[in-house]
Structure 1
């Protein structure tokens, strides 16, 4: 079971669009995919559930990631994540023919309260990081994912908040890989640089505390997330190429020392803006413009190559991805 965190330090870069379409495309290939919505804006959740359905069927019945975090009690084993996972009906009807499934651990609009609670448990935003509660906080999501059987899911996609707070760091601690969506502009470039700086600091800190507390937490492994790359989103095209205005920013992204996906997604309100209304990601749409369809297919294929699982995720199977 591979776990990939989709993270950015800036909102409005297409993070949810990227997560939903990659997840749906791979589920259509016959794989078992779990998406975890850790963003309090809940855009990924509302891509698959109408707000009224979310309120009555999920929030009121405590079937959200917020409810799972709230179920933790000190010095006790948390309940399995499976009890909080839902299976959106519309998208699963669309991927069922291939034998795949697309499950969701939904977000909550008050998930920010959990962020504050976890920060307080650490001792505050600037607390000494060798506190006894460090791994109680940062290992929570990893512990939740470990409650699944190896055969439950082939891929887990974690949609992180657009910041590097406690919840995002917990997602990093639970993932194998990191995927970074960005727009080809100066602010996104600055956001990537800041994200990577914070990531490097957190990985160093986490591994340092793991060494200091190896006697108390022998099961905690060193954190070594692999950055799959930067995916450029909302690219404007003219004459079959990105506009000349954007090309310097595309080259700028390539100069950050990170891998950049060759595949990019263009601006297409027709394709992406209405996805929430249909509860189907664009990649599953029957009337997708050919150029957008090609870009989505190319992006998913490149994602699979980069995650190192293309051959194993190419068709129906109940074996996990190695």
Structure 2
């Protein structure tokens, strides 16, 4: 089971669009995919469930990631995530022909309360690294995923909040790989640089605390998440080609030492803005413009190559979109 955290330090960069379409496309290939919505805006959740259904069937029934976090008791075994997993019906029907599985752990609009609770348990935002609750907080999601059957899913994709708070760090501690969406503009480039610095610092800190506390607790596996790269989204096109400004931003990202995906997604309100109304990501919609559908296929293929997922091959990916 490979775990990928989709993270950014800036909102409005297409993070949820990327998560929903990659997860759905791979499930359409016949694989088992679990999406985890850790963003309190819950946009990933609302991409698959209408608000009223979310309220009555998920939030009111305490079947959200917020409810799971709230069942945790200090110094106890992690509660299983199994009872909080849902299957979005429209997406499930659309991918059923390929034999895949697409599940979701939904978010909650009050998930920010969990962030505050976890921060308080650490002792505040500036908590010392030696705090006794350090791993109790940062390994919660990791232990939660470990509570699932080892062969339950081929891929887990985590949609992180647009900042590097406690919940995002817990996602980093649970993942093998990090995927960074960005818009090709100056603010996104600055956000990438800041997030990479935060990521590096957290990995160093986590591993250092694990070393310092090695004699006090069972061995903690050191973190070594690999950044798959930056995916440029909402790219502006002129006369069928990306605008000339794009190269400048790619060069700026290259200077940060992080790879940029060759595949990218153009700005398209028709493809992405309306997809949530149908509870189907653009990659499944036959209303998606040809150019966007082709870019989505290219992106998923490159994602799988970078992931090195021999068991998640993209054979047949183009076949279900006709002659793309």
Q: TM-score, normalising length from structure 1?
A: 0.96
Deviation at 1:77, TM superposition (A): 1.6
Contact 1:184 1:253 in 2 (8 A): no
Mapped partners of 2:8, 2:295: distance in 1: 21
Stretch deviating more after TM superposition (241-250 or 136-145): 241-250
Equivalent residue, structure 1, for 2:223: 223
Equivalent residue, structure 2, for 1:150: 150
Mapped partners of 1:126, 1:89: distance in 2: 43
1:57 aligns with 2:57: yes
Equivalent residue, structure 2, for 1:196: 196
Deviation at 1:219, TM superposition (A): 3.5
Aligned length: 316
Contact 1:210 1:217 in 2 (8 A): no
Secondary structure in 1 aligned to 2:181? strand
Equivalent residue, structure 2, for 1:11: 11
Mapped partners of 1:302, 1:314: distance in 2: 9
Contact 1:228 1:306 in 2 (8 A): yes
1:32 aligns with 2:26: no
1:291 aligns with 2:291: yes
Deviation at 1:217, TM superposition (A): 3.1
Contact 2:66 2:108 in 1 (8 A): yes
Deviation at 1:311, TM superposition (A): 5.1
Deviations 1:161-211 (A, max 9, x none): 000000000000000000000000000000000000111110110000000
Equivalent residue, structure 1, for 2:321: none
Mapped partners of 2:228, 2:27: distance in 1: 20
Q: Within 5 Å, which residues of 2 pair with 1:165-184?
A: 165-184=165-184
Q: TM-score, normalising length from structure 2?
A: 0.95
Q: Within 5 Å, which residues of 2 pair with 1:53-202?
A: 53-202=53-202
Mapped partners of 2:74, 2:254: distance in 1: 45
1:281 aligns with 2:281: yes
Mapped partners of 2:135, 2:70: distance in 1: 17
Contact 1:31 1:315 in 2 (8 A): no
Equivalent residue, structure 2, for 1:320: none
Stretch deviating more after TM superposition (33-42 or 246-255): 246-255
**Where does structure 1 differ by over 2 angstroms across 4 or more consecutive aligned residues?**
215-219, 310-316
Secondary structure in 2 aligned to 1:34? strand
Where structure 1 has 5 or more consecutive residues not aligned to the other structure, the ranges are 317-322
Equivalent residue, structure 2, for 1:244: 244
Equivalent residue, structure 1, for 2:272: 272
Quote the RMSD (CA, aligned, Å). 1.2
Secondary structure in 1 aligned to 2:96? helix
Deviation at 1:240, TM superposition (A): 2.5
Where structure 2 has 5 or more consecutive residues not aligned to the other structure, the ranges are 317-324
